[in-house]
Structure 1
Amino acid sequence: MVLIRDVVKEVLTTGYLTLADENQLRKLLRTKYDKEDFNAFMSLQEAAMNGLVKQEARLRLK
């Protein structure tokens, strides 16, 4: 089973959030998750806001 923290780790490593990653995170966030997964997701949000992660969805809008 894939965990939120696993997806976040991969995204932070590559610096790129794909549409598939976003969909997987949405699906995982609808299930039960622990504090470590929540904190990982918050780290991803912060990285995206600070421009450390590029988002495929936003790049397609340009």
Structure 2
Amino acid sequence: MFFSIITRQEIRRGSFNSVKELIAAISAFIEGWNQRAHPFVWTKTADEILPHTRKQTSDARH
């Protein structure tokens, strides 16, 4: 979940001229994230989520 958020809110929105700039932006995001940290509120139970994950993995044909 965290990687989805950082991608949407920081990485995709930014324009970086170097890897150093990208690292600085990610570090700043993480610092702010840690200051505002709070647990995610799950709206579904594990029993509601797990059947969907099983279906996706069993349908994959590799």
Q: Name the structure with the higher strand share.
A: 1
Higher RCO, Cα 8 Å, sep 6+: 1
Fold in common (TM above 0.5): no
The TM-score normalised by the length of structure 2 is: 0.35
The TM-score normalised by the length of structure 1 is: 0.35
